Amino acid sequence: MSHNQVVQEFHPRVHEAITNPQIRANFRKAMDGLMDKRQLAFPSDDELQRTRELAAAIRLRALSKLPELLEKLEANLTANGVKVHWAETGDEACKIILDICNEKNAKSVIKGKSMVSEEMELNHYLEEHGIEALESDLGEYIVQLAEETPSHIIMPAIHKNTDQISDLMHEKTGTNKSRDVEYLTAEARQQLRERFEKADVGVSGVNFAVAETGTLCLVENEGNGRLTTTVPPVHIAVTGIEKVVENLEDVAPLLSLLTRSATGQHITTYFNMISSPRKEGELDGPEEVHLVLVDSGRSNIYQDDELLDTLRCIRCGACMNHCPVYTRIGGHAYGYTYPGPIGKILMPHLAGLDDAKDLPSASSLCGACGEVCPVKIPIPKLLVRLREESVAGDHNHDNSVVKGRGAKRKGMEPLIWKGWAKMHKHGGLYRTGTGLATVFRGLVPSNLGAWTNCRTAPKLAKTTLHQQMKARSQNNAASQKKDGGDQ
């Protein structure tokens, strides 16, 4: 389903999700578990805050020299024998991957987990061009069997419980129905293992791309990432341009925060570092390695000093796990590749505010996302900024780079706010305005559209605050005079 299709359905989708007890129960249980695991992984708040400071500084340093580091990354990867490609849009990235596949006469692609490939809808694109693309991450595999999209950036199938997965696997692959997670996992592994051997190309994501050494780091738990990047003769890694870090030393603190924030693990089962294709004399590894660096609106974000913080993200998912809105509506209700708080600040750039205008408003601004973010992205602040952009007049953020700004502006609203501001600047006008409002209070309707859908309409007082204070001071003066006379 394309972004444009889903965006029209944001409110009905949210309504459907919050009234679905199964979705609410699945997410509540899963998010509670993830929050507990994260808390246990950070027993010392001092250590957590110190590491967050360090990680934020590493990401800021990398972003501050992004163009230089990307050039360095390309030079070092090329020297290592990796072919580097640049894609301005998701479509361009799809085309690059298709061309590589066609050149190799590839008919089947096996994929490791990659949110950027979800963002560019790579599977559909390849299938439309006659190439089979199979997800090998267990969660992604389940989502693909269900013909759905991921509902969480770390745990794509978290919206499904064991019974639902068992029914799905039974229906689509003939697996016996079972509530035994180990059995279901072993079955999926068996089904996938055969496909690895036949795949012509492996496509993976990248967690960190190290400029200094030309190394692509990949974090995973299932071993499918290692198989994807080593078994097929061609490996194509695809990632956003912001994933670059300066040197190998930068990786350790980021990795530690990523895994602990995401799943409460101190380290994942697999950590892959890919620097080149198979070298002479080596027994395994692909004959060719490619890296596709995708922009897709990221360099636009990069031009804004405040919004630039969005690019610090290391995709741990902690902001989603702690978000009261995400926990209640789940990932699909958002209708975009990246749901939850990170999606609310990223998607308006990738899809444009005119499509994603509702996302920054789908937040209570409780601040939990900003507090848990391991790289200290001020998410609530960025949400407020994007809300402002969604109704912005020309005078606000004149140099703004946000696409589709002003998408939520309504004709009358700026006029009302202008009048309100003027009234507050002039005492006489203010008193006349509030006086008239109290006189004509009976004309205020009890139904104020969206405002009163979930609120009671405010009742205006019979007199203004100014009149009440004046009356009170007159009463006080009169009673003091009276008390003085009585003595």
Q: Rule CB under 6 A: which residues touch ligand SF4?
A: 313-319, 341-342, 372-375, 377
For ligand SF4, the closer of residues 265 and 463 by Cβ is 265
Whole-number Å distance between alpha carbons of 474 and 455: 36
For ligand SF4, the closer of residues 235 and 376 by Cβ is 376
Rounded to the nearest 5°, which phi and psi values hold at 234?
Answer: -125, 130
Q: How far is the CB of 380 from ligand SF4 (least distance, A)?
A: 11
Three-class DSSP category at 466 = helix
Given a contact cutoff of 8 angstroms between Cβ atoms, the answer to whether 77 and 214 are in contact is: yes
Q: How far is the CB of 148 from ligand SF4 (least distance, A)?
A: 21
For ligand SF4, the closer of residues 38 and 235 by Cβ is 38
Nearest in space to 262 (alpha carbons), one of 148, 360, 139: 139
Whole-number Å distance between alpha carbons of 70 and 295: 12
Residues present in the chain in total: 487
For ligand SF4, the closer of residues 150 and 374 by Cβ is 374
Q: How far is the CB of 23 from ligand SF4 (least distance, A)?
A: 21
CA torsion sign for 305, 70, 405, 318 is: negative
For ligand SF4, the closer of residues 24 and 315 by Cβ is 315
Q: How far is the CB of 21 from ligand SF4 (least distance, A)?
A: 27
Q: How many CB atoms lie within 10 A of CB 235?
A: 26
Whole-number Å distance between alpha carbons of 208 and 253: 12
Q: How far is the CB of 59 from ligand SF4 (least distance, A)?
A: 9
Q: How far is the CB of 371 from ligand SF4 (least distance, A)?
A: 10
Whole-number Å distance between alpha carbons of 257 and 207: 13
Q: How far is the CB of 175 from ligand SF4 (least distance, A)?
A: 32
Instruction: Quote the tokens at residue 265.
Output: 């693990």
Nearest in space to 203 (alpha carbons), one of 128, 273, 116, 268: 116
For ligand SF4, the closer of residues 56 and 106 by Cβ is 56
Nearest in space to 236 (alpha carbons), one of 41, 325, 106, 367: 106
For ligand SF4, the closer of residues 277 and 341 by Cβ is 341
